[in-house]
Every structure is written in C-alpha cells, then in structure tokens.
Amino acid sequence: MKFTGTSHRQTRTISGQQVAPRKSMGQNFLVDESVAQWIADQIQPDGADFVVEPGPGLGAMTKHLVGRAKQLVLIEKDNALAPELEKRFAKDPTVTVLHEDATRIDVSGWYRHGDVRVIGNLPYSVGGEILKHLLTPPTPVTMAVFMLQKEVCMRLAARVGEDGYGGLSVLIQRDWDVELLRIIPPEVFQPKPKVDSAIVRFTPRDPSTLPVCDRRMFERLVRAGFSQRRKQMKNLLPEAPGGWQALADSLGKSVAMRAEELSVAEWVQISRWYEGRKDQDAGQKSSEMFDVVNERNEVTGQLTRGEVHAKGLLHRAVHVFVINAKGMVYLQRRSHLKDVSPLKWDSSAAGHLDVGESYADCAIRETREEVGIEITSTELAAQLPAGTHTDHEFVELHIARHNGPMKCFPEEIAYGEWFMPETISEWIQARPQDFAKGFISCWKAWTQKCG
C-alpha cells in the first residue's frame, strides 16, 4: 500500500486501485515513520501477551508492533483496507485481522489473555465511541495508548483547576490514570487535519485510592453538574439529602461552588452523600457470626468471620449463578474491600450462611444484597464438599433466572458482566488465577452436570 495523489486530494493505492481516504470515517493516515515508531513504543509491546490495534489503516504503527507482541490483533472496519491487511499477514501466526467495527466488537473473549494492551490512531469521527466501548468498566484492557484530537486529550487528562477539566475528565479518571504524552502536529498525517493531535496513555486506577460509590449515581450527578458550566451546582443537582449547606460543609466548599471546582475524589464524596454513605469504607465485618460445622456438615457452634477464616474452620456458603434468556451467566468482580479473594471474578452472588439460615434462604438474600434483584426461589444445581478447593466451605450452588438490570452493591462488588458459558470456560482454562477458588469448583460442577 502506498500514497499517491494530487494537490487537491490524497489517495491510497491498494492492490492497484486508487482509493481516497474516507472523510465519513474520519480517516487521516499517519505517514511519519519516526512518530509512528515512538507511539508504538508507548504501549511497551515487547513480550506483551496481547496487543490490539483498532483502526490500523495503512499500517504505519502496525509495522512497529509486529513481531514484538506475542499476539497482535488488528481491527479494521474499512472494506478496502481489511482484506489487504488479511493478505499482508496471512502467513504470520502472531497477527490476527478482524474485519469489524471497533465501537461494537465483543471483547469478552479478551479476558483470557490477562494483559490486554490497546493502541490506536483513532478516527476523529468515532474516536470517542471507541474509547468508551473499550475503556468503560468492566473491561479486559490493562493499558491503552490512543491518538486523538488535542482538545479531547487535554480534557481527558486535565486535573481540577486546569484548562479542559470537565465532566469527561471526571468520568474517565474515576477508573483510569491518564497521561498526556505528546502533542502531534498535522504535518505527520495525510491528509493533514485542521487541528493538532495528541497521545494519551491510560492505566487502571488503583481502586483503593477512592472510596466506593454507586457508579450509576456517580455518572448521573457528574453529567448533571457539568451540564451548564456557568450555573452553581445547587441549581443543577437534585435536592441534597440533609440540605445543600450540609453537603457543601462536608466538602469544605461554598454553597455557590461550581462543578469544575471539584476534584474526582470530591465528586465521589458527593455521590456517596446522595447514596447515604457517610462513614469510611470498612469492608466486611470480622465480627459477623457464622455457623461452624464438622466434616459431616453438622453445626458444632458459632464463631466470628475473623476467627473462622484465620483458623481455616469448616463453614457453609452458597453460590448463585444468575442466567438470562440468552443463556449468559452474570459474573461479578469482587470488591477490593473483600477479606477473601479481593478483585477476583466470582459467581453472580455468593456468601456465607448466617447463623441458623438455610442455603435456599441465603441464596435469595445474597442475590438481593449483592446484585439488587428480587427472586422468590432458586434451583439447586450442585452440592460441594468442603476443602481447600472451596476455601473450607460446604457449598450449595443455586441457579436463578433474570433478564433485567443488575445493581451491584459497591462494598461487595466492583462491577459485573454477562458472559457466554463457553467464554467463561475458556477463560478459566487459560487463567484460573483470575477467579475465586469456590467459583471454579462451582463452575466445574455445573458444566459437568450440564454436559
């Protein structure tokens, strides 16, 4: 592939046919070799397990990624470019070309690769959509380097008090650390865009750096607060519980504050105020009482959670798989506040039986408390003996049916997602370390039963 053209219009030659860059797709092709190599280096591809490049175009950055990552995936929507890329890399087993739309591609299968890095010169027309699709949690992406319009990159990376700081800054920085790496001039592209571009790098934010909050509430409040920048927040947000003065005092701010005056952490505090979360995150209470059982699953007494876990005593737990009409299973990623297996993927809902509680009642309670759905009954799917494979728990696995939305309780669950069973099985096979041990045992029991 190469460029040819006239002073009025740049064209590309693909398999002997001249094709102009598609304005409708926001195509501006990177043609500066040194810049392309520098950008490719920012994703640190050498030895990386899985690197994805959405919108490779003519392959300016691709050539600096091939042979460095163990697996390189190119996602190209253009009907002329995709077949050419397929031909070009047909004999390279480390490169996969997907003729798909990066704003809609199913990324659930990427989890099994563990370290997923994404790099791309994103089209101006759909760059925001690609970024949102690939970086909105839950996501398998562990690092991303994107080239976008300079103005957008400034907004993504801006901190409170800096030019460009706004709702987009707050929403993305809730989950990502964002670095503005470099400004890129129009001269390195054909055709030349009318504005500067920039490079930003995203790495996951440590969840312990912010207190937990309800994601949906957080997003609603941020969008409302930044909807009219000149207005005071008290005129944009819903009536604050306890009054606006009390909320402002809790932040040490004036009642006349505006959205851009608040940091990401302060926006989290506002969300927590509306949710009624005014105490510090404490995680699970070690004083919670459990039934202790013997090898025959007979109750022998009661002790606290802390004692039971510290001594490795036998106790009881229930796991629930919530399944929708498509046959997909909802998995949760455990909160960083969990005392056992924090940030591991787990069943839709799971928990210990309260003193004197039945497995069936516990399944209904845990489903309500962790994912916010009301069910009246479940199906018993499997009974698992206690052992190291279940963290010393006698487990019953129950099945629940649900097709509506979930509402994760953030102290319990970081976030959740629906997966096809075969995707989960492949993921477990590739990376069992991503999951809570009890879940893996339940999954094996259920899949063996289902055949």
What is the per-residue pLDDT for 309? 87
Residue 197 sits in the same domain as residue 219 = no
What is the per-residue pLDDT for 26? 47
Any domain includes 6: yes
Residue 37 sits in the same domain as residue 160 = yes
> Which residue reads 């940030």 in tokens?
343
Q: How many domains does the chain have?
A: 3
Residue 200 sits in the same domain as residue 223 = no
Residue 294 sits in the same domain as residue 223 = no
Residue ending a domain, among 186, 205, 224, is 205
Residue 60 sits in the same domain as residue 116 = yes
Residue 79 sits in the same domain as residue 228 = no
The enclosing domain of 243 has a CATH number of: 1.10.8.100
What is the per-residue pLDDT for 230? 87
Any domain includes 53: yes
The enclosing domain of 102 has a CATH number of: 3.40.50.150
Any domain includes 174: yes
Whole-model pTM above 0.85? yes
**Full domain range(s) for residue 233:** 215-275
Residue 34 sits in the same domain as residue 83 = yes
Any domain includes 282: no
Residue 320 sits in the same domain as residue 400 = yes
What is the per-residue pLDDT for 6? 34
Residue 52 sits in the same domain as residue 83 = yes
Residue 113 sits in the same domain as residue 251 = no
What is the per-residue pLDDT for 58? 85
Residue ending a domain, among 205, 226, 254, is 205
Residue ending a domain, among 149, 179, 205, is 205
Residue 39 sits in the same domain as residue 163 = yes
Q: Taking the chain (451 residues) in consecutive chunks of 10 residues, what is each chunk's mean pLDDT?
A: 36 47 57 92 97 93 96 95 94 97 97 97 90 97 96 97 96 98 90 90 97 96 95 95 95 96 97 92 76 94 90 95 98 94 97 94 96 94 94 96 93 95 98 96 94 70
Any domain includes 418: yes
Residue 179 sits in the same domain as residue 258 = no
